[in-house]
Chain A
Amino acid sequence: MSKMAPPEELMNVNYATPAEAWMDVKPEFKLGNYSYPGKPDVLKYLGLPNPREWNPTEEDWKLPPDWRDIIRDGFRELLGKYRSLKIFMDCCVRCGACADKCHFYIGSGDPKNMPVLRAELLRSIYRGEFTVAAKILGKLSGSRKLEEDVIKEWFMYFYQCTQCRRCSLYCPYGIDTAEITFLARDLMNRIGVNINWILEPAANCNRTGNHLGIQPHAFKDMMEFLVDDIETITGRRVEPSFQRKGAEILFITPSGDIFAEPGIYTFMGYLLLFDYLDLDVTWSTYASEGGNFGSFMNDKWMKKLNAKMYHEAKRLGVKYIIGGECGHMWRVLNQYMDTMNGPADFLEVPKSPITGTVFNNAKSTKMIHLVEFTADLIKNGKLNLDKSRNAGITATWHDSCNTSRGMGFFEEPRYVLENVVEKFVDMPAQTIREQTYCCGGGAGLNNGEFTEMRLRGGLPRGNALKYVQEKFGVNTMSCICAIDRATLPGLADYWAPGVTVTGLHELVGNALVFDGEEPRTMNLRQEDLPGIEGSEEEE
């Protein structure tokens, strides 16, 4: 038997990561940490350059021969067009306030997910290519030259940012990393470096009216099935209309609501509410998408997809638009719509036909969120709600980044929620409202191949959820965003197993009591109501 090494040596298990300067660490593409590239046909449809088959794990990304010039010229153009970009490139003092605020950083520990460093990926090129300091000081000034590895790094990390803007909340200068990500993606699009999960939905939306590529007749068919389900549950036959000219209101919601669980239950909630109010509302198969994946590509496509909603409102001659439970639809609407496509002078300032409330906050865009409309109804005593139909639920509220940080909906959704469930508990203060943690799926990152990274980024939200689950018995997390509804069930299953995810209007639909209605025995998921004969609880 050979002599064994001394224990100290045997025990020298060293997993410590060697310290390297960040510029020298190359990104490692592994299944689970990147999204699949844009398909050539989709790029061609969108008129984007350099359509080709390529794979991020391979060395050669098949960039166009003059890619450096394209990026330099593009960067120069964007710096001229957006003064904000120039300020963001110049004013960061690296104070570190944002460093540990990103959910992807908190979950991964990868320094390049620190917002300051994410921005530095772009800033280093800005310095290297556009400032005098770099010519004198070189790398010492934190600058570098544009090489292919830089593009690879951009692709990795600007597609590991959900544009949730939590970091900008803590930045003393108000640097908006989401906008830096917008523009970095815009630059990458110019050389054909992009992800399919953004491009294809945007292309579909332009072509068939929604991200999923659901054709008008299929959209109508799917709605019919939900109408059938509503009849099974409530005994009522609701009658939604499509493209009805002269209707008072056009309603637009994310297409995810019409086909994917648990969004469909929220969709049924919308239909029930409109029926209850006998609201003069119409749907459109042309404007059948509230989301705007164009906003994850560049300003041109964001503008075009946003304009589509307003074209339809104009064509139908409605007075104003109500939007369903969506997240980034509201970012686009509140931050960009007015300068891109506004003001929508051909529409009227939204006024609730039920309560008479005028929504002056939407004076220019003429579009309100359903949650403010519903909160106003409840406040004015216009809804007969029975909380016991959501009995057994201890709910918490997930503030979707775009509706909370992006537009300040803190109270309205909580007010609605508290009126439809018996028990409501908030998650810890530093994880909600303007400080809310992202679901990890925003800005086009809710695709299947990105699940592992998304769970990593979902740790802070999952951690807070688990806390209220254990401490207060929370079993339901409600939200007003379709990407949340798609992403949070998986997040909850991993970090806080046993918590169900619902949209807000699913719970409203459950609680809504119609005059002379048949007593309900099940909720919108067709689960027996507690205390009803034949239900599991009574057995």
Chain B
Amino acid sequence: MEAKKLNLTLKIWRQKNSNSAGSFIDYKVQVSPDASFLEMLDELNNSLELKGEEAVHFESDCREGICGTCGLVINGRPHGPLAKIATCQLHMRNFKDGDTLWVEPFRAKAFSVIKDLMVDRSGFDKILQAGGYISVNTGGVPDANAIPIPKEISSLAMDAAACIGCGACVAACKNASAMLFVSAKVSQYALLPQGQPERYQRVEKMVKVMDELGFGSCTNTYACEAECPKGISVTNIARLNRDFIMAKIKNKEVEV
């Protein structure tokens, strides 16, 4: 037997482009509790298109919580009210019949709205281009396990590398700070031997670009960790701070 459908009022942010002002538009929808949040928006878009209206623009790709493409702020919470899931993993059974849901884009000066619920997160790419890599310029393929790495350390690096770069940390932070994202990307290399040669140059370069892009400063509210779909820990931010301070000392040593 099909479960009873939910009647919901959606207040969705509609914005024509990055230059125009946006506003909330009301939509009444009837949706199965088994549908995911994005499926509900798909159904809404189908009905809008049938009426000849423009569809609500939002981003998604894998729809299984691993790509980091989707991201909506639902009732003030990035990726909705549940912990450690992306928007695509949120199902309508978590809402009650008659609920009103406010759906907003990730808001940050560094994430300008492209259209409706789509935001420009290319700032994250710029930060990665500045130092989110290791340089392997020459030589043959190294033997597997030639460099011993303790299991605990490789696990810690993997925990940091679990960041999918969705931007929920920026959306959740009252300062729109990108520290959790940057710290995860810095940590995944800083913890491993392969990341050591560029460790201190990397952290300086990435923080510099982060600051230039207009992200805010971290004030340690830890809202980012609470909203992160991958549960990235703020201990990574402490590591970033530590490495940044060390970089200021160590990089001076070798400067000509």
A binds B: no
